[in-house]
């Protein structure tokens, strides 16, 4: 109910703000100020969802990366609220174990792979 009231007042705000400041009466200015206050009180700033795996690991072994994604919907910004701040997409390392048949290079030998 309150959100509907804020929307209705916002519609009135749009038409009231079209009146040049010099032409507004004191009553119109007070009404406009109160509508702005109500509108600001109902603004909802956005919040991030949890990260979701968007793409599986790029490799099955030998150190790969996977892409994580989150959305600005927890809650979604509304009524002039701020958007989420930060990156929507992130990457993380995955499958760090050696692949079968690979030998770690310890400085004295080379890495070998079975083919």
Q: State pTM to two decimals.
A: 0.50
Q: Tell me: the pLDDT tens digits for 23-48? A: 556 666 666 666 666 555 688 999 99
End-to-end CA distance of the chain: 68
Q: Tell me: the pLDDT tens digits for 41-88? A: 688 999 999 999 878 899 999 999 999 999 999 999 998 899 999 999
Any idea which residue has 């929507």 for tokens? 88
Residues of the chain with CATH 2.20.100.10: 52-94
Alpha carbon distance 108, 1 (integer Å) = 74
Cα distances (Å, whole numbers) of residue 79 to 62, 76, 104? 48, 10, 57
Alpha carbon distance 80, 16 (integer Å) = 17
Any idea which residue has 């009180």 for tokens? 41
Any idea which residue has 């079968």 for tokens? 100
The CATH H-level (homologous superfamily) assignment of domain 52-94 is Thrombospondin type-1 (TSP1) repeat (2.20.100.10)
Q: Which residue has the higher pLDDT, 16 or 29?
A: 29
């Amino acid at each position: 109910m309150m959100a509907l009231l804020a929307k209705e007042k916002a519609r009135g705000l749009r038409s009231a703000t079209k009146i040049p400041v010099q032409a507004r009466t004191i009553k119109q200015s007070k009404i406009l100020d109160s509508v702005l206050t109500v509108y600001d009180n109902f603004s909802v700033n956005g919040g991030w969802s949890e990260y979701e795996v968007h793409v599986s690991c790029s490799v099955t072994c030998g150190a790969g990366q996977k892409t994580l994604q989150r959305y600005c919907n927890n809650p979604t910004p509304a009524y002039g609220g701020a958007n989420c701040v930060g990156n929507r997409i992130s990457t993380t390392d995955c499958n760090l174990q050696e692949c079968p048949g690979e030998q770690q290079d310890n400085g004295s030998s080379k890495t070998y792979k079975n083919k």
